[in-house]
Structure 1
């Protein structure tokens, strides 16, 4: 068969392909959740991959009820802490924060990341936030949470990762009560408080960085063949575009930054939640070690 002809592999919808500004993914869209109020996100540190033998429970599958070997990703999820509740108001220019209530108890490593507020009264700030909710000015509530990587022996850092997590489910009054109680009681919560086994999740993360790469690896263009390769360049593109328009278009596959991009994978099934002993492999994961929890 002849080789297929194509301008490139890879979507132009992910441009510009630059390095992510932070290792903490930015969630730009949160789903509407039913049921009781709860946090809609949780952070973890990837340990590696392995496989499990599980029963296929898909009703439309011809292998329903049979055992299958499935690849799984092991993620360490130590308890997180909620340190503040932030209220947002809907404006013509999008959602803008109008007030926030900070707890008075912070983890000893949190000042590595944030300039912590001083002389703040959580009770006064919480009362102001509740009054804004009663007045109908608040359109969304999000909790400022952070990880505690110092509790994991295989994560080589102490600096916490800080993020905002939306509070979903129930009415706005119920969300405010839930979030204020969570922050006021110390804010510690585990992954079991947010997700349950069998649930489908959207997972965001930063891909492995590969530095500057050429167009063959970055865009999947074909290497030059035959006489074109004997000109001295085998891994370059044939040309940068037409004479007119007299500029190089952004659609031309060129060399540049590869990897270390934020990507989101949809509908990942949470197979199980357990301690580190259930997910460990003999000798630990390569480049990570034993799983703590």
Structure 2
């Protein structure tokens, strides 16, 4: 009989499989844009439901028909800007040159950072500008007051970035000012933590035969380098699984809602409660547990196959998700 061959179990795309440092995602690359606006936003994952939408994909077999569509509800209360940060490109990367704070900060910010007595000054020699923003979880029902603080890039030229940052300093920015219905976004989040798991669930190795020695749910071989207790680092072993920083590209925004009554399910979303403010509906699933901090950015590689217009929604399920 021919020898059975199969690909290795466990993707090497993400390595090492370690837990994220923080529960909020870190964005290292920002897309370039000529529009004078923020290039990202943030929200809190509430849960999932489903819709009936009119398929508007031009080459779809169900074009013009109502189709079932699962969606994730992300509550997006307005974010506030705390400071303008001026950066200079150097040989060792970008360096913070100066920071200009708003006249007054929210009292919840004192739980997170120490407020500066001096307002700061505007730098004369810099290459780009970022806005330091923070969320307002007090406007949601997740029972939290301490905000998340994060930087957001601004589109346009250097002069346009400074003008926009000065205009929005100390003010609120809503989700409708950054994204529109039908637009694609990249989602950065930290996935659910699964704890300590075995190699079968962690890497998908095949179960051994029932008469195998010692164990069935372990890899059959530990690799070629076995002298003196050495084991190759590619070998599938048990360990911590989940709570990883992941990015999903080109997720479709189906709706940006202002009335929470349209989306709240009976009994509230499991482990979250009721949505109280602005929200967005994203097609498909989003990484992370309920109440997890989610960051959204404009797509770095736009998928042209996704329609740029939002489909018509004929039904939004508000049935209870309890006991599912």
> TM-score, normalization: structure 2?
0.80
| Inter-partner Cα distance in structure 1 for 2:130 and 2:15 | 29
2:89 paired with 1:90? yes
Match of 1:145, SS state, is strand
Maintained 8 Å contact 2:224/2:232? no
**Shift in Å, 1:74:** 0.2
The verdict on how the C-alpha distance between 1:220 and 1:56 changes in structure 2, with shifts beyond 3 A counting, is: same
2:243 paired with 1:242? no
Residue matched to 2:74:
75
| Inter-partner Cα distance in structure 1 for 2:143 and 2:224 | 50
How many residues were matched structurally? 273
Over residues 41-80 of structure 1, what are the superposed CA-to-partner deviations in whole Å (9 max), with x where a residue is unaligned? 1111100011111111111222222221111100011111
| Inter-partner Cα distance in structure 1 for 2:108 and 2:7 | 51
| Inter-partner Cα distance in structure 2 for 1:13 and 1:34 | 32
**Shift in Å, 1:102:** 0.8
Residue matched to 1:135:
none
Runs of 4+ in 1 over 3 A off after TM superposition: 2-6, 243-247
Residue matched to 2:166:
180
Residue matched to 1:5:
6
2:60 paired with 1:61? yes
Residue matched to 2:322:
none
Q: Which of 257, 260, 265 does residue 248 from structure 2 map onto? A: 265
| Inter-partner Cα distance in structure 2 for 1:98 and 1:115 | 19
The verdict on how the C-alpha distance between 1:64 and 1:4 changes in structure 2, with shifts beyond 3 A counting, is: farther
Match of 2:255, SS state, is coil
Over residues 97-143 of structure 1, what are the superposed CA-to-partner deviations in whole Å (9 max), with x where a residue is unaligned? 1111111211111111112211325xxx1xx33x33xxxxx222111
| Inter-partner Cα distance in structure 1 for 2:5 and 2:114 | 56
2:144 paired with 1:157? yes
Q: Which of 125, 131, 134 does residue 146 from structure 1 map onto? A: 134
The verdict on how the C-alpha distance between 1:85 and 1:4 changes in structure 2, with shifts beyond 3 A counting, is: same
**Shift in Å, 1:249:** 2.1
Residue matched to 1:14:
14
Match of 1:175, SS state, is helix
> TM-score, normalization: structure 1?
0.88
The structure whose RCO (Cα within 8 Å, separation 6+) is larger is 2
| Inter-partner Cα distance in structure 2 for 1:173 and 1:141 | 9
* Unpaired segments ≥5 residues, structure 2: 278-324
| Inter-partner Cα distance in structure 2 for 1:292 and 1:245 | 60
Match of 1:180, SS state, is helix
Residue matched to 2:270:
286
More helix by share: 1
RMSD: 1.8
**Shift in Å, 1:210:** 0.9
Within a 5 Å distance, the mapping from 1:144-223 to structure 2 comes to: 144-153=132-141, 155-168=142-155, 170-183=156-169, 186-223=170-207
| Inter-partner Cα distance in structure 1 for 2:89 and 2:136 | 32
Match of 1:281, SS state, is coil
| Inter-partner Cα distance in structure 2 for 1:140 and 1:23 | 27
* Unpaired segments ≥5 residues, structure 1: 133-137
Over residues 197-254 of structure 1, what are the superposed CA-to-partner deviations in whole Å (9 max), with x where a residue is unaligned? 11000001111101111111110111221321xx231211123211468732221111
